[in-house]
Amino acid sequence: MATSSPKDKYLVVWMIFFMLGLGTLLPWNFFMTATMYFRHRLKGPLSTDVPANQSELASEHQSVLEAKFNNVMTLCAMLPLLLCTCLNSFLHSLIPQRLRIMGSLLIILFVFIVTAVLVKVPMEPLPFFSVTMVKIIIINSFGAVLQGSLFGMAGLLPTSYTTPIMSGQGLAGTFAAFAMICAISSGSELESAAFGYFIVACVVVCLSILSYILLPKLSFFQFYQERNRKTPDDVQNTVTLMNTDVKDAMVEENKDPSISMMKILKKIWVLALSVFFTFTVTIGTFPAITADTRSMLADGGSWELYFIPVSCFLLFNLCDWTGRSLTAVCMWPGKDSLVLPVSVVARVVFVPLFMLCNVQPRLHLPVFFQHDGFFIAFMVLFAFSNGYLASLCMCYGPKNVLPHEAETAGAIMAFFLALGLASGAGISFLFRAVV
């Protein structure tokens, strides 16, 4: 007799998965939106007890660190993300789920506590730069493990419980940008605002930890955990009832997984390359170029202070989330339409458009778009198209293959997404140098 599943009372489990989804991408977004603080720290202080020629050399070195900060930050984030995304497929069978999730959250919390403390500690630019990059590598390495483990845990529950994870991740960037704006609007010095900003991040990660501790105590989650432990018998019964053609296909897949992988890739290679190219263009431009854009209204007023937090980070995340959300009600163009890959390739036009805005410092190109409105319009289209097209590709990938191949197709799409992030981080150096 089938056992009826308990209800998720007050959607507590749904909210916990939302909070954990928020916790997976929030750390990286907090570091990315705090670029104003990090670059401010790279401007000084310089020691006054050195000869003039050495002081001048140190000042030049310091300027190089500031100019390259966004590029190096992106590279230090995306390469570990790609590596740990691949490694996580092996980790899940070697390390218990609880240790992976709780361990990752605790390490991320520790890194944020250190970051908040270092706000109050004077450091020379080069050591500060190095420590910051090490923290970014750690954050994104354990963030990748956390993300993979979280989606695996959600797989035990009904399909709808993947949605809160996606929702939490989509709102992570918006939350981080909004928190930074609130910190700036408090009227405090930049260091004091940054301290409050990182304390907020610590609080959110703590809430994620408490949420995960609470999760196993809920009867709804316990039911699906127990049912998962009985899966060997369930799988045997299911296989017995399977259609013969499906069984043959699965047997063939198990005999030669490499051929099966290639067959799946042949079915989805256009979508895989599309999601790769989408994120290559996005990460190659944002934030390496966009965060260096300055308002043309150089009056030192509040608009100049809020220009990057609002027009770059907050606007990007809001429009990106809008694009992702739109795929829930509209999925055009179709998965086999040429309009989709053409639209993805057409996004490369945003690279020169942003380059010709008031990106500072610049060495080669002129400033063609003199008004801040151009940058804002480009950002809206750039972010919306990223969210919409990437979401379409990720949705269509598993639908382009047989049902028993969908999980493998999803893994292939996730790999190309991570590869696009890493590729964009690398090419951002070239894009920034051209400016």
pLDDT in tens, 15-26: 998 899 888 888
Confidence of residue 1 (pLDDT cuts 50, 70, 90): very low
Q: Which of 18-27, 43-52, 310-319 is predicted with the least confidence, judged by mean pLDDT?
A: 43-52
Q: Which of 200-209, 242-251, 312-321, 349-358 is predicted with the least confidence, judged by mean pLDDT?
A: 242-251
More confident residue, 385 or 5: 385
Mean pLDDT over residues 48-61, rounded?
51
The separation between the first and the last C-alpha atoms of the chain, rounded to the nearest angstrom, is: 68
Domain boundaries 9-225, corresponding CATH code:
1.20.1250.20
Q: What is the pLDDT of residues 236-275, one digit of tens each?
A: 444 444 444 444 544 444 444 444 778 888 888 999 999 9
CA 64 to chain centroid:
26
Confidence of residue 61 (pLDDT cuts 50, 70, 90): low
pLDDT for the residue numbered 159:
60
User: What is the rounded CA–CA span in Å between residue 274 and residue 413?
Assistant: 10
Q: What is the pLDDT of residues 416-431, one digit of tens each?
A: 888 888 899 889 989 9
Mean pLDDT over residues 379-400, rounded?
88
Which CATH code, of 1.20.1250, 1.10.3470, 1.10.287, 2.60.120, is assigned to 248-435?
A: 1.20.1250
Please indicate, yes or no, whether the overall pTM of this predicted structure exceeds 0.85: no
Contact 125, 62 (CB under 8 A): yes
The two counts, helices (H) then strands (E), for the chain are 17, 0
pLDDT for the residue numbered 418:
80
Q: Which of 171-175, 185-189, 344-348 is predicted with the least confidence, judged by mean pLDDT?
A: 185-189
Contact 6, 223 (CB under 8 A): yes
Mean pLDDT over residues 209-236, rounded?
76
pLDDT for the residue numbered 253:
46
Beta bridge partners of 293: 359
CB atoms within 10 A of CB 433: 12
Question: Above 50 in pLDDT, residue 74?
Answer: yes
pLDDT for the residue numbered 132:
92
Q: What is the pLDDT of residues 79-101, one digit of tens each?
A: 888 888 778 766 666 788 888 89
- Taking the C-alpha atoms of 139, 143, 144 and 146 in order, what is their torsion angle to the nearest 10 degrees? 150
Contact 136, 128 (CB under 8 A): no
More confident residue, 194 or 103: 103
Averaged pLDDT of the chain:
81
Question: Above 50 in pLDDT, residue 165?
Answer: yes
Question: Above 60 in pLDDT, residue 212?
Answer: yes
pLDDT for the residue numbered 373:
93
